[in-house]
Amino acid sequence: MFKIGPYSIDTPLVLAPMAGITDAPFRSLCRKMGAGLAVAEMVTADQSLWHTRKSRLRLPHEGEQEPRMIQIAGGDPQMLAEAARANVDLGAQIIDINMGCPAKKVCRKAAGSALLKDEKLVADILDAVVKAVDVPVTLKIRTGWSAKYKNAVTIGKLAEESGIQALTLHGRTREDRFRGKAEYATLAEVCQTISIPVIANGDIDSPEKAAWVFQNTDAAAVMIGRAAQGRPWIFSQIKAWLEDGIKQPDPDAASLYQLIAEHLIGLYATYGEYMGVRIARKHFGWYLQQAELSQWRKSFNLLETPDQQQELLAEILQPLTQPFANSA
Instruction: Give the structural domain span for 306.
Output: 253-317
Residue ranges of E strands in the chain: 2-4, 7-9, 13-15, 37-44, 69-73, 94-99, 137-142, 144-146, 149-150, 166-170, 198-201, 221-224
Q: Are 71 and 17 in contact (CB under 8 A)?
A: yes
Q: What's the total number of domains in the chain?
A: 2
Residues 181 and 260 in one domain: no
Prediction pTM value? 0.90
Residues 239 and 258 in one domain: no
Domain boundary, last residue among 186, 221, 244: 244
| Residue 325 is assigned to a structural domain of this protein | no
Q: Are 270 and 306 in contact (CB under 8 A)?
A: no
254 three-state secondary structure: helix
> Identity (one letter) of the amino acid at 310?
Q
| Residue 323 is assigned to a structural domain of this protein | no
Residues known to be catalytic: 101
Q: What is the CATH number of the domain that holds 135?
A: 3.20.20.70
Residues 265 and 123 in one domain: no
| Residue 95 is assigned to a structural domain of this protein | yes
Domain boundary, last residue among 214, 244, 274: 244
Tens-digit pLDDT string for the chain (328 aa): 899 999 999 999 999 999 889 999 999 999 999 999 999 999 888 888 887 666 666 666 667 889 999 999 998 999 999 999 999 999 999 999 998 665 544 444 455 567 888 899 999 999 999 999 999 999 999 998 877 888 999 999 999 999 999 999 999 988 877 888 999 999 999 999 999 999 999 999 999 999 999 999 999 999 999 999 999 999 999 999 999 999 999 998 889 999 999 999 999 999 999 999 999 999 999 998 876 787 888 899 999 999 999 999 999 887 775 444 444 3
**Helical packing angle, 185-193 and 152-162, nearest 10°:** 30
| Residue 324 is assigned to a structural domain of this protein | no
The number of residues making up the chain comes to: 328
Residues 105 and 175 in one domain: yes
Residues 205 and 68 in one domain: yes
Counts for the chain of helices (H) and strands (E), in that order:
12, 12
